[in-house]
Structure 1
Amino acid sequence: MSKRSLAARAESWPIKGSFRISRGAKTTAEVIIVEITEGQVTGRGECVPYARYGESIRSVLGQISSVRAFVADELTRDGLLTVLPPGAARNAIDCALWDLEAKLTGNSVAKIAGIRAPGPVVTAYTLSLDTPERMGEAAKAEQHRPLLKLKLGGAGDLERVAAVRASAPRARLIVDANEAWDADMMVDYCPRMADFGVELIEQPLPAGDDAILGDIDRPVPICADESAHDTATLNEVAALYDFINIKLDKTGGLTEALLLAEAARGYGLGVMVGCMLGTSLGMAPALYLSSFARFIDLDGPLLLEKDRENGLTFDGSILHPPTSALWG
């Protein structure tokens, strides 16, 4: 009999109200949980299949199932990089392997990885795309938070940011257009974003249609999200962007994310650590990138009706490291 077994299942977590970006809205967070068991010890990982990258619950479960025999033969994290491409499936398996090793050895993930253990960090709090009036109202309710992230959608974005700034005058702001701007908007909007005190503009242009960034003045730093996935894409990204948003569901897990964060530093790129909309189990591994990052955006659990048991502790926008009961 094999020493290790792999199990995977889909879960649905209700969102508070709805969550809207330029590509649409959702009312639930759809996640997949992977559990890898050796003896009496189980390691867990969570991923979020993302349609923007051609993923679905069904396709990701199929990818996970395809490596069951490799996991039974004690597939390593480095080996996993060669049998699955970057994406949600590899992320859940990779994070489960990290968690399993930590529990089997009694060592923290930080010690295993040879990195600094995460401490409390400030996370951004995301305001969904909406009308300027409603985003202003949402900002007023959250004006006590030190860092707000605004989901934008193209036309009307200046009015949206103006409404938020008026309602939350002391909050730091970052904005995320999710590929909704065009070249003319870039030229028009960027100086105004600087006037509003915006500190970062995330993925303004469609991935693959962002070459013009090399020729546009940028009073506000530009961050790659959909344009940046793993170390293989870093060289072309570095010529156009100032920051990259590292998400484990894009890199395919913490193993590749750590490599990407270190490589980004070598290119002089700033780092933002981001997330898909999921539970604390999906956020916990990403916290181990915090020492590389200027911006942390791991507010997924705050946007849900409820989080899973033993979830991360939030003190307002202060996010505390996970306990071993959750992960690592």
Structure 2
Amino acid sequence: MRLSLKSFRLTKAVPLAISRGTTAAVEHLLVRITHDGCTGSGETGGFDTGHRHYATDAVAAELEAFAPRLEALAPQPLQALEPLLAALSPPARCGLDLALHDWWGKRLNQPLHRLWGLDPGACVATSVTLGLGPPEAGLARLERWWAQLPATRIKLKLGSPAGVAHDLALLEAVAGALEQRRQLTGGPCELQVDANGGWDLATARSMLQPLERAGVVLLEQPLAPLLDPEADSAGFAALHGEAPLPLVADESCWDLADLLRLAPHVDGINIKLLKSGGLAEALLMARTARRLGLGVMVGCYSDAALLNGAAAQLLPLVNWPDLDSHLNLVDDPFSGLHLDADVLVPPSGAGLGINLRQEPC
């Protein structure tokens, strides 16, 4: 099995501001494994959750150092590779995991969701994201989304460093625009809020009633994630009994162990492949969350269609898809991830089902 890497740049059409800062462009990695005449591809890159940080160049160095260990091995069975992959950081493991799954699906000439027995007809609308900023900027971004797709699910970023008054003004403006949209179209228009850990407990408590009045249907990661698991769980536990809307853990939930730790204190989890280390852990998390009665969100960072196409294989298990990053790129080198109105469709091609439109640069 031969491993190769290629870095490429992704540029956002509209920069995204959240509580931790603004992102306009990122560097990602195309990870390829080739064996027996078949090549599988995966995507990975660095990311920052506030309490953990991974740089893309460090991920590349980690994979390059790991490559010689793969040369005498085959991509299948995946179970035999699990002890090796466990030693990698989550984003390094993700890139390799996706390439291995893509190879497996291509070798069997089937999309992953079919191999897992999932129903692509069970998918629901994805949310699209409004970043932090002045209310007029948020409304302009909302109109731009509506010009691009129906966008019946809106995720609003709050947790502004400028304080709660900024959050309240932005919340009021966006909630008002969504109500006008409902009256105009007669259709659904759902508002979700993601604070990206930008509030302390007192602020989060003060925001619960304004969120409820605005018709917000879920609150994602209101409190900063903590490296101490007990302290991290305690924050959600303190808020859970008071919250009149579902609480969803994102930055606090990386793997199955985190899911089980947080399950008594949240109503849902956000699975991101870069956090989970790829599809193997993500599939296990999604099935476990559903069995425990938790809602499942699948999210993204500044990812291209290859990474989001991998995540889309899980969509039949997902209540709240949040895979919109590729829709905000001006230079995505990949294709094959399609929308039916605002419902992402799991790619039907073999493996991840994503094609390279042009060699990334």
Shift of 1:285: 1.4
Q: How does 1:1-328 map to 2 (within 5 A)?
A: 4-52=1-49, 53-72=52-71, 73-74=73-74, 76-83=77-84, 84-85=87-88, 87-117=90-120, 121-143=124-146, 144-154=150-160, 155=163, 156-169=166-179, 170=182, 171-208=189-226, 210=232, 211-216=234-239, 217-324=242-349, 327-328=352-353
Amino acid corresponding to residue 221 of structure 2 in structure 1:
Q
For residue 219 of structure 1, report the CA deviation from its aligned partner.
0.6
Gaps of 5+ in 1: none
> What is the CA–CA distance in structure 1 between the aligned matches of 2:36 and 2:271, rounded to whole Å?
33
Question: Which amino acid in 1 is paired with 2:258?
Answer: T
* Deviation by residue 1:235-270 (Cα, 9 ceiling, x = unmatched): 221122111001111110101101111221233221
Taking the aligned partners of 2:350 and 2:284, their CA distance within structure 1 comes to: 26
Find the aligned partners of 1:326 and 1:149 in 2 and give their Cα distance. Answer: 30
Cα distance in 1 between the residues matched to 2:5 and 2:331: 21
* CA distance 1:22–1:81, change in 2 (3 Å): farther
Asked whether the equivalents of residues 48 and 277 of structure 1 are also in contact (C-alpha less than 8 Å), the reply is no
Q: What is the one-letter code of the residue matched to 1:313?
A: H
Separation in 2 of the partners of 1:230 and 1:118? 27
| Distance (whole Å) between structure 1 residues aligned to residue 103 and residue 299 of structure 2 | 23
Q: 1:311 to 1:288 in 2, by over 3 A?
A: closer
Kept in 1: contact 2:112–2:352 (CA 8 A): no
Q: Is the 8 A contact 1:43 1:97 kept in 2?
A: yes
Summarize deviations over 1:161-218 as a string: whole Å, max 9, x none. 1111112223211111110011111111011111111111110101125413323311
- The CA RMSD over aligned residues, in Å, is 2.1
Distance 2:121 2:99 in 1: 19
Give unpaired runs (5+ residues) of structure 2.
Answer: 183-188, 354-361
- Conservation of the 8 A alpha-carbon contact between 2:106 and 2:350: no
- SS state of the match for residue 54, structure 2? coil
- Residues 173, 142 of structure 1: alpha-carbon distance in 2 compared, 3 angstrom cutoff: same
Q: CA deviation at 1:325?
A: 7.3
Partner Cα separation in structure 1 for residue 217 and residue 197 of structure 2: 18
Normalising by structure 1, what TM-score? 0.92
What is the distance in 2 between the residues matched to 1:241 and 1:290? Answer: 21
| Contact 1:31-1:49 within 8 A present in 2 as well | yes
How many Å separate the matches in 1 of 2:14 and 2:142? 15
State how far apart, in whole Å, the 2-side matches of 1:299 and 1:252 are: 20
| SS of equivalent residue, structure 1 residue 239 | helix
**How far is 1:159 from its partner?**
1.3
User: Secondary structure of 2:248's partner?
Assistant: strand
How far is 1:47 from its partner?
1.4
- Residue 120 of structure 1: CA displacement? 5.5
SS at 1:101's partner residue?
Answer: helix
The one-letter amino acid of 1:268's match is G
Structure ranking higher on relative contact order (CA contacts 8 Å, 6+ apart): 2
Moved more, 288-297 or 242-251: 288-297
TM-score, normalised to structure 2, is: 0.84
> How many residues are treated as equivalent by the alignment?
325
Identity of aligned residues (%): 33
